[in-house]
Structure 1
Amino acid sequence: MKILKNSIQLFSLFALTSLTFTSCSDDDDNNNVINIPDAESVKLFTSNNADGNINIYDVTDLSNVTASTLITNSTMADGIYYDDDTDTVYQVSRSSLALEGFANATTLASGTTVDVDVAGTADMDSPREVAVNDNMYVVADNSDVDGDPNTPDGRLFIYEKSGNSFSLRNTVTTGFKLWGIVFNGSDLYAIVDATGDLAVFQGFLANNTDAIVAPTKRITVEGIVRTHGITFDDDTDTAVLTDIGDAASATDGGFHVIYNFTSKLDATPDSGTLSVTDQIRVSGTNTVLGNPVDVAYDDETETVYIAEAANGKILAFNNIGTGGNLTPVLNNDLASASAVYLERD
C-alpha cells in the first residue's frame, strides 16, 4: 500500500507540473507558460462563369497549393460565401438566378456532383456579388431596372435564410448600376459600376420594404477607372478595391489597397474624392491583371486574392506595401473567374 501511495503522489506531482506548463496564469510573470497555437488552414472558395462549378483552393502554403472541385448544376455563377460553422458554401447562380447552398463543402471528394441543400427562389435578372450579415444575404443585381440605359439603376435583393431555404424579404433599387458589395457592421459598401465610385448605405438592413433608396454617401476613389470588386477587413480596417480599367482590355487592370479605411472614408465628404495618395495601387504587365472582378484579403499575411476574369486566373499578391508592378505569388488558371471568398480556420 505504501508503494501505491507513493505512486499516486508521484503521478499527482507529474500532473500538477504538466498543468503548470500548459495553462495560463493570472500572475504577471508568464515566463514558464508554453502556448501551443492551433493549426490553421486557409481556403479560397471561387466561382466562375465558364461552368458554374465551385473550386476550393487550399492556400495555407502558397508554395504548395492544392485544389478540389464541386460540380454544380449551374453553368454560370458569381458571388460566393462560406459558412465555417456548418461547412456550407453558398454561391449566386447566374443560370438559375438564385442563391444556392451546398453542405459538407470541404469534406466531399473533388469531382463530386452536388445537389442544392439550401435553396433560394429565382428572382434576379443579372446577379453579381453577395454580402452576408448574420442570416441576411444581400445580392447585387446588375440589370437595368427601367430598361432605359440613359438612367442607370440596379437592385439589391435582400434574402433571409431560415433552415434550408432563402426567402426574399424585400428589394432595394439604386440610382446606379451595381457590382461588388460588402458589409462593415450594419453599413453596406456598394460599387458603382462603370465608374470609380463607392456608395455607402448606413444601417442598410433597416430598409425592409421595396423602395428606391439613395446612398448615405457616394465618393470617388481617385486613380480607379472602373471598379468592380471590393472587400473590407474590420480587424485591420483595410479595404481593397479592384479596377478593371477598359473592359475590352486584358492588360490594364489593377487593385487599390486602403489602410485606415474608415477614417479616410469619414474624412471624405459626400461627392468628394478619396485621394490616390491615401492608397496603394498594384498594376502593370507583371500582374496579369486585365479585368479583376472580385477580391479577398488575408489580414494575417497581407495577401490579396483576385478573381481575374479576362485572363481566366486566380491570382494572389503579397508584399503589397509598396504597390507597383508586382508579380503574383499564385497564378492558377480558372476560366471566367468571377468571385473569391477567403476562410481562415
Structure 2
Amino acid sequence: MNRQIFAFFLLAITSVLGCSKDDNEPLPQSSVSRLYVSNADTDASVMSTLIFDPADGATLDSPDRYDTKLPDGNGIVFDPFSGTVFQVSRQAKNIKSFTVKTDGSLADKGSFIDDGLTSGREIAFDRVRKTLYVASNTDSSIYVYQGVDTIKSSARASKKLKLNGQPWGIHLENDNLFVVIDRSSAQVQLFENASSLVVGTIVPSKKITVTGGIRLHGIAYSSSRDALILSDIGEEAGSGSTSDGKIYVIEAALAKFAAMGTAVSPTRIISGINTGLGNPVDVAWDIRAEKDLIYVAEKANKKIQVFKFSNNGNVSPFRTVTLNTSPEAIYLDAR
C-alpha cells in the first residue's frame, strides 16, 4: 500500500512539473492589447519606456511614459505568465525587469549589469527555462542569461554564443531561436533546440536569405500562422535613408528554411513614399483574426506605424502616431 501511495504522489509531482515546463501551454486569457516601446535616446530627460494601452483602438492615444533609467534602450519583451517586462540598455549594459500591475503600470522588480555585454540589441525570453537571450551586434554574439529572474547587481552571461554575422532582431518560439543577421548578408538563421546550444561558435540548423534585402533588423513570427515578418532599414545614411525602409511578409515560412540556406522572395513587400518607412528598426504582430495588424517602430521619423497584414506595396499606414522620442524596440501583448 505504501508503495502505491508513493507511486501516486510521484506521478502527481511529475505531472505538475511537466505542466509547468510546457512550451505550448496556452497564454493566460486576457482582452488586453498593450504595445511596449523602448526608446534609444540617451538624454537623461527622455523617458526610456512608453506603453500604448490599449494599442488596438481606433487611434493610438498618448502613451504612458516611464523613466526606467535605461539610456539607449533597446530590446524589450513581456512575459504574460509572470507579468514581467524585461528591457535592456545598450549604453549602461543594464538589464532590468518590471512587474506589470493590474492597471498596466510598471513597478521595479530586478536589475543587473553585465560589463561584458558589448552591444545589447533585441532580446527574447524563454519562460519555461527562465532564460533571457540578448543579441549583441558588434561582437557577433548572443548572450544567454539562465535563471534571469534571480540575477541581481552584476553578472556575466551563463553562455556566450558566437555567430558568423552581426545579429539584430531575435525571436524565440518552442525552443527555436530565429536570428536576423544585419549588414550585407540579409539572412535569417534558425537555431533549433536553442536551450541545448553550447558556449562557443554555433552553426544554424537552417537559414534563408531574403532576396533584395539590404539591412534586416526587426522580426516577428507566428508558428500558428507560419508567417514571418521582417523589417529592412535600407541605407544607413545619405539620400533616401529616411524613406527607403521596407517590411517583408513571408508566408508558409518554415518550409523555406534549408540547412544549406536558400534565397526567398517575400510574399508581400510594404515600401514606398506613402508608407513613411525610413528606418523601421522593429516590428510586432497582432495575429488575432479580427485584428491582423503589423506594428512598426520607425526610428528615423520618430513614429509608431500600424499596417494591415494583408498590405502590399506603396500603402499608407492604417494608423500612425508621431513621437518626440526615438523608438528602438517594441513588443506587443495582444491576447
Range class of TM-score, shorter chain:
0.7 to 0.9
**8 Å Cα contact 1:52/1:77 also seen in 2:** no
CA 1:81–1:64 in structure 2 vs 1: closer, same or farther (change >3 Å)? closer
For 2:20, the equivalent position in structure 1 comes to none
For 1:118, the equivalent position in structure 2 comes to 110
For 1:18, the equivalent position in structure 2 comes to none
- For structure 1, which runs of at least 5 residues remain unmatched after alignment? 1-37, 146-153
Q: What is the deviation of 1:39?
A: 7.0
CA 1:286–1:269 in structure 2 vs 1: closer, same or farther (change >3 Å)? same
Q: What is the deviation of 1:330?
A: 2.1
For 2:145, the equivalent position in structure 1 comes to 159
Determine if the alignment matches structure 1 residue 56 to structure 2 residue 44: no
The percentage of aligned residue pairs carrying the same residue is: 29
Determine if the alignment matches structure 1 residue 238 to structure 2 residue 234: no
Out of 88-97 and 236-245, give the one that drifted further. Answer: 88-97
- In the alignment, the residues of structure 2 paired with residue 221 and residue 257 of structure 1 have an alpha-carbon distance, to the nearest angstrom, of 11
1:217 to 190, 206, 209: 206
CA 1:163–1:75 in structure 2 vs 1: closer, same or farther (change >3 Å)? closer
2:273 to 285, 302, 305: 285
Q: Deviations over 1:117-166 (max 9, x none)?
A: 222332311110001112111000012x3xxxxxxxx1100012354436
For 1:103, the equivalent position in structure 2 comes to 99
CA 1:133–1:162 in structure 2 vs 1: closer, same or farther (change >3 Å)? closer
- In the alignment, the residues of structure 1 paired with residue 121 and residue 60 of structure 2 have an alpha-carbon distance, to the nearest angstrom, of 31
SS at match of 1:156: strand
Determine if the alignment matches structure 1 residue 140 to structure 2 residue 126: no
- In the alignment, the residues of structure 2 paired with residue 39 and residue 89 of structure 1 have an alpha-carbon distance, to the nearest angstrom, of 17
Question: 1:84-95 residue pairs with structure 2 within 5 A?
Answer: 84-95=80-91
- In the alignment, the residues of structure 1 paired with residue 322 and residue 207 of structure 2 have an alpha-carbon distance, to the nearest angstrom, of 35
Rg larger for: 1
**8 Å Cα contact 2:70/2:94 also seen in 1:** no
Moved over 6 A (4+): none
Alpha-carbon RMSD across the aligned residues, in angstroms, is 2.1
- In the alignment, the residues of structure 2 paired with residue 105 and residue 310 of structure 1 have an alpha-carbon distance, to the nearest angstrom, of 32
Q: What is the deviation of 1:98?
A: 2.4
- For structure 2, which runs of at least 5 residues remain unmatched after alignment? 1-28
For 2:298, the equivalent position in structure 1 comes to 308
**8 Å Cα contact 1:317/1:329 also seen in 2:** yes
**8 Å Cα contact 1:87/1:106 also seen in 2:** no
SS at match of 1:321: coil
CA 1:163–1:219 in structure 2 vs 1: closer, same or farther (change >3 Å)? closer
**8 Å Cα contact 2:180/2:188 also seen in 1:** yes
For 2:120, the equivalent position in structure 1 comes to 127
Letter in 2 for 1:139: V
For 1:67, the equivalent position in structure 2 comes to 63
**8 Å Cα contact 1:117/1:164 also seen in 2:** no
Paired residues in the alignment total 289
Question: 1:145-224 residue pairs with structure 2 within 5 A?
Answer: 145=139, 154-165=140-151, 168-195=157-184, 196-208=186-198, 210-224=199-213
- In the alignment, the residues of structure 2 paired with residue 164 and residue 186 of structure 1 have an alpha-carbon distance, to the nearest angstrom, of 21
- In the alignment, the residues of structure 2 paired with residue 223 and residue 176 of structure 1 have an alpha-carbon distance, to the nearest angstrom, of 18
**8 Å Cα contact 1:119/1:164 also seen in 2:** no
For 2:36, the equivalent position in structure 1 comes to 45
SS at match of 2:113: coil
Q: What is the deviation of 1:72?
A: 1.3
**8 Å Cα contact 1:314/1:332 also seen in 2:** yes
Q: TM-score, normalised by structure 2?
A: 0.80
